[in-house]
Amino acid sequence: MFKAILFDLDNTLIDFVQMKEMSCKAAIAAMVGGGFPLDEKKAYKELFALYGVHGIENTTIFQKFLQKFLGHVDYRLLAKGISAYRKVQSSFLEPYPDVRSTLIKLKEKGLLLGIVSDAPRLKAWTRLGETKLEDFFDVVITLGDTKKLKPHKSPFQKAINSLQINPKEILFVGDNPRRDILGAKKAGMKTALAKYGQVFEGKEIIADFELNHFSELLKIINEKQK
pLDDT tens digit sequence for 9-33 = 999 999 988 899 999 999 999 999 9
Beta bridge partner(s), residue 194? 211
Of 226, 110, 222, nearest in space to 165 by CA: 110
Q: What Cα–Cα distance (Å) separates residue 10 from each residue in 96, 118, 179, 191?
A: 10, 9, 12, 17
Q: How far apart are CA 182 and CA 18, in angstroms?
A: 25
Tell me the pTM: 0.84
Cβ atoms of 149 and 55 within 8 Å: the answer is no
Quote the pLDDT of residue 223: 85
Cβ atoms of 53 and 38 within 8 Å: the answer is no
Would you tell me the crossing angle of helices 61-70 and 75-92 to the nearest 10 degrees? 140
Quote the pLDDT of residue 58: 84
Quote the pLDDT of residue 207: 97
The burial of 180, by beta-carbon neighbours within 10 Å (0-12 exposed, 13-18 middle, 19 or more buried), is given as buried
Q: In sequence order, what E strands does the chain have?
A: 4-7, 112-116, 139-141, 170-174, 190-194, 209-211
Confidence of residue 226 (pLDDT cuts 50, 70, 90): low
* More confident: 190 or 223: 190
Cβ atoms of 65 and 181 within 8 Å: the answer is no
Task: Give the 3-state secondary structure of residue 210.
Answer: strand
- Average of per-residue pLDDT across 36-40: 95
Q: How far apart are CA 23 and CA 30, in angstroms?
A: 11
pLDDT tens digit sequence for 125-162 = 999 998 999 999 999 999 999 999 999 999 999 999 99
Q: What Cα–Cα distance (Å) separates residue 219 from each residue in 13, 45, 225?
A: 17, 40, 10
pLDDT tens digit sequence for 52-97 = 888 777 889 999 999 999 999 999 999 999 999 999 987 888 999 9
- Average of per-residue pLDDT across 106-123: 95
Beta bridge partner(s), residue 170? 4
Q: How far apart are CA 38 and CA 70, in angstroms?
A: 11
Q: How far apart are CA 219 and CA 226, in angstroms?
A: 11
Quote the pLDDT of residue 109: 95
- Average of per-residue pLDDT across 33-51: 94
pLDDT tens digit sequence for 195-223 = 999 988 888 999 999 999 999 999 999 98
